[in-house]
Amino acid sequence: MLYWAEGSKRRNDLQFMNSDPDLMRRFLEFLTHCYGVRSEDVRLTLNVHLSNRLTLREIENWWLKRLQLSPGSLCTHTVNTYSRASRRTRRTLPYGTARITVHSTFILQSIYGAIQEYAGIERPEWLDR
């Protein structure tokens, strides 16, 4: 059900994004325990602002440590900048948000099927035909 709220609805890639490292870690544990996903199968992408006096490397290391992933899992990140008009008044998350990706149609279809079963709904657009 968590994936229904926080996951991408892509066709062949399992993508889960959030700013809470504990929630992200729990989801990775689920994938490891239920589907045998290995850490080397996980890709990590960050979406960050660098206005919090942290470097991109520090932010990467913070996420890697909390998610227990190796630097080899890192992909290209999105680094946001403020527009001059914003005057940096928006609050940002110091470590941004992280997205984990696992390329597995089987796992994705299994999760979609479980969501439909638990929720008592039908979403044929989620499932392969």
Q: pLDDT tens for residues 82-111?
A: 766 665 556 678 899 999 999 999 999 899
pTM of this prediction? 0.84
pLDDT of the residue at 63: 97
pLDDT of the residue at 125: 79
pLDDT of the residue at 128: 61
Residue with tokens 């989801």: 27
* CATH class assigned to 2-126: alpha beta
pLDDT of the residue at 78: 87
Q: How far apart are the first and last CA of the chain?
A: 22
Per-residue tokens: 28: 């990775």
Q: How far is CA 103 from CA 3, 72, 121, in A?
A: 15, 16, 25
Per-residue pLDDT tens over the stretch 21-59: 999 999 999 999 999 999 999 999 999 988 778 899 999
